[in-house]
Amino acid sequence: MTNQELMARDLAHIWHPCTQMKDHETIPIIPIKRAKGVYLYDFDGNAYIDGISSWWVNLFGHANPYINAKIKEQVETLEHVIFAGFTHEPIVRLSERLCALTGMDKCFYADNGSSAVEVALKMAFHYHKNRGERRPYFLSLTNSYHGETLGALAVGDVALYKETYREILITTLQTPVPKDRSQESAIQALEVLEEILKERGYEISAMIVEPLVQCAGSMHMYHPLYLTKARELCQQYGVLFIVDEIAVGFGRTGTMFAYEQAGIRPDFICLSKGLTGGYLPLAVVLTTNEIYGAFYCDYLEYKAFLHSHSYTGNATACAAANATLDIFESENVLERNRIKAEHIAARLEAFRDLPNVADVRQRGMIAAIELKGYDPRERIGLQINQFCLKEGIFIRPLGNVVYTMPPYVIETDELDRIFDTIFKAMTTKA
Ligand SMILES: *Cc1c(COP(=O)(O)O)cnc(C)c1O
């Protein structure tokens, strides 16, 4: 089998995500035969460093021997069982560990990030309803991204994904995200938030935020003070606080969870992506006994949260998640990432002075370089993506923002290859 052959068979029957399929008349689709560590291998023998962790999911490399072994063990024992009326050991253990890590009390499972967001939104609305309050609106940040299902899309604000569907989405409220990483811009944004809450807080169920980094929103970063104060303000107005840690959770920003840097305790935490180390689809919404209690009563009061997904609580996925947490516990991951993040910071310096760079930003293991001076029709991000692929580096810029969010097992010389190649792409294309 060659790349060519598999690509032709793919295009005959497959419609790929987030893709204008006509692009593939000229841009090859790359069949991946196998992967190991940070490397993806195609059918023609080329290797690519997975510079974005396969869409932000992979933490400890592809074909990680430890996670592989734990998954194999699990499928030989129990691959999956309906999760209403039944339970299993991997999920009980996982839930205990997630609650211990976050200080939350209860876990509700789903199977992808968007569904976790839907769960948190529905639960927040339903919580108020069970207590006799009608709060039909949700509040989110401008430039936010929370997934692609209709509810998640409605609280999101990336026009590229949202605009087409606007007329069929529920009405939500948006408040400005701080415009940069400064404390001043956080304070400005908080003033607007306070106005909105004063005026309409009584009809808002919950505020949902991506803590510290809006990843799909071009890796936009803001000051933790915003989170600290926004949480406080929401509490004053009875508005629940949802942190969407789907992208930034599990160490991406330097702490296990990004919200920790703001010293807050949210009402809901949404997790997915890195939860299984990038192996299997799984998502969870963590919440408090306070929320749980508003649903807990005699059946005939009809206050139960009647939400489910067929693959909820999949045992194999939970085994992968437990294996991922084992690695966090045994390998001092956050500390080792700190050293890698310092190396990333040093490598980013060289980009600051390039004439086509508007901004360089980093938070932990997320690094972004924002370009300027290109017409969107040039699709500079795509050009850089294609250039880098030829050099054995896989990155996938967001418009004119080039970024890397690598698996944590990446070595210094591999990071160097990523930055050398991006630098070459940017100076060749400039
Ligand atoms: C990816 C992402 C989602 C959606 O998760 P899916 O598993 O792709 O549905 C939601 N919120 C954030 C912040 C994300 O990055």
Interval 290-329: pLDDT, tens: 999 999 999 999 999 999 999 999 999 999 999 999 999 9
Kindly report the protein residue whose alpha carbon is nearest to atom 5 of ligand 1: 113
Quote the pLDDT of residue 430: 46
Cut 0.95: pTM above it: yes
Alpha carbons 90 and 113: distance in angstroms, whole number: 20
Residues with CB under 6 A from ligand 1: 112-114, 117, 145-147, 210, 215-216, 244, 246-247, 272
DSSP summary character for residue 29: P
Residue nearest to atom 15 of ligand 1 (CA): 247
d(CA 399, CA 76): 44
8 A C-beta contact, residue 421 and residue 390: no
Query: What is the maximal distance between C-alpha atoms in the chain?
Result: 68
Nearest ligand 1 atom to the CA of 114 is: 9
Tell me the CA–centroid distance for residue 131 and ligand 1, in Å: 30
Residue with tokens 């580096």: 393
From 246, 271, 279, the mutation candidate for ligand 1 (largest count of ligand atoms within 8 A of CB) is 246
Using DSSP's 3-state secondary structure scheme, residue 117 falls into: helix
Ligand 1 centroid to 105 CA: how many Å? Answer: 23
Which residue among 109, 111, 121, 146 has the greatest number of ligand 1 atoms within 8 angstroms of its CB, and so is best to mutate?
A: 146
389-427 pLDDT, tens digit per residue, is 999 999 999 999 999 999 999 999 999 999 999 999 999
**CA distance linking residue 81 with residue 210, whole number of Å:** 32
Q: Which atom of ligand 1 is nearest to the CA of 214?
A: 13
Q: Which of 52, 54, 145, 270 to mutate to test the pocket of ligand 1 (most atoms within 8 A of CB)?
A: 145
| Dihedrals phi, psi of 30, to nearest 5 degrees | -110, 110
Q: Round the CA-based radius of gyration of the chain to a whole number and report it.
A: 22
Residues 318 and 283: their CA atoms lie apart, in Å, by 10
User: Which of 330, 359, 386 is a domain's end point?
Assistant: 330
How many Å lie between the centroid of ligand 1 and the Cα of residue 97? 22
Number of domains in the chain: 2
Percent of the chain clearing pLDDT 70 (strictly above):
100
* CATH code of residue 16: 3.90.1150.10
3-class secondary-structure state, position 248:
coil
Dihedral Cα 345, 348, 353, 356, nearest 10 deg: -140
Quote the pLDDT of residue 152. 98
Question: Using CA positions, which residue lies closest to atom 12 of ligand 1?
Answer: 146
Among residues 330, 356, 380, which one ends one of the domains? 330
Q: Note whether 126 and 239 are same-domain residues.
A: yes
Indicate whether 278 and 385 sit together in one domain.
no
- Statement to judge: residues 238 and 370 lie in one domain: no
Using the mean position of ligand 1's atoms as its centre, give its distance from the Cα of residue 265 in Å. Answer: 21
Is 162 in the same domain as 222? yes
Checking if the pLDDT of 429 tops 70, the result is no
91 in the same domain as 158: yes
CA distance 356 to 147: 31
Tell me the CA–centroid distance for residue 114 and ligand 1, in Å.
Answer: 6
The CA 149 to ligand 1 mean position distance, Å, reads 10
Q: Are residues 45 and 83 in the same domain?
A: no
CA of 184 to the centre of ligand 1 (A): 29
Angle (CA) 28 159 14, round 5°: 30
Scanning 253-397, the segments in alpha helix (DSSP H) are 289-293, 315-330, 333-348, 380-390
CATH number at residue 241: 3.40.640.10
Pick from 56, 220, 273, 311 the residue to mutate for probing ligand 1's pocket: most ligand atoms within 8 Å of its CB.
273
Q: Give the β-pairing of 268-271 and 240-244.
A: parallel
Residues 209 and 281 in one domain: yes
Least Cα distance to 234 among 275, 262, 271 occurs for 262
Please give the pLDDT value at position 248: 98
Would you say 294 and 131 are in contact if contact means Cβ atoms under 8 Å apart?
A: yes
Same domain assignment for residues 87 and 37? no
Mean pLDDT of 380-385: 96
CA of 417 to the centre of ligand 1 (A): 28
Q: Considering 310, 330, 350, which residue would you say is the last residue of a domain? A: 330
From 58, 109, 112, 114, mutation site for ligand 1 pocket: most ligand atoms within 8 A of C-beta? 114
Q: Which atom of ligand 1 is nearest to the CA of 281?
A: 7
Contacts of 53 (CB under 8 A, 6+ apart): 59, 278, 405, 406, 407
Q: Give the Å distance between the CA of 247 and the centre of ligand 1.
A: 7
For residue 152, the CA-to-ligand 1 centroid distance in Å is 9
Q: Which residues contact 12 (CB under 8 A, 6 or more apart)?
A: none
Cα–Cα–Cα angle for 360, 361, 365, rounded to 5 degrees: 130
**For 226-269, what is each residue's pLDDT tens digit?**
999 999 999 999 999 999 999 999 999 999 999 999 999 999 99
Report the chain's mean pLDDT, rounded to a whole number.
Answer: 97
Q: How far is the CA of 268 from the centre of ligand 1 (A)?
A: 15
DSSP, res 75: H
Is 281 within 8 Å of 274 (Cβ atoms)? no
Indicate left, alpha or beta for 278 from its phi (over 0: left) and psi (-120 to 50: alpha): left
- Print the domain residue range for 237: 67-330
Q: Are residues 267 and 196 in the same domain?
A: yes
Amino acid symbol at 350: A
Which ligand 1 atom is nearest residue 112's CA?
7
The residues near 9 (Cβ < 8 Å, ≥ 6 apart) are none
CA distance 197 to 192: 9
Please state whether beta strands 357-363 and 366-371 pair in parallel, antiparallel, or not at all (unpaired).
Answer: antiparallel
Closest ligand 1 atom, residue 117 Cα: 10
Q: What is the band of 197 on the pLDDT scale with cuts at 50, 70, 90?
A: very high
Nearest atom within ligand 1 for CA of residue 248? 13
pLDDT digits (tens, 9 = 90+) for 165-196: 999 999 999 999 999 999 999 999 999 999 99
Instruction: State how far the alpha carbon of 100 is from the alpha carbons of 47, 119, 371, in Å.
Output: 39, 21, 41
Residues 281 and 186 in one domain: yes
In terms of Cβ atoms closer than 10 Å to its own Cβ (0-12, 13-18, 19+), residue 305 is middle
Kindly state whether residues 113 and 199 are assigned to the same domain: yes
Q: Are residues 274 and 384 in the same domain?
A: no
Report pLDDT digits (tens) over 318-361.
999 999 999 999 999 999 999 999 999 999 999 999 999 999 99
Query: Exposed, middle or buried, 234 (CB in 10 Å: 0-12/13-18/19+)?
Result: buried
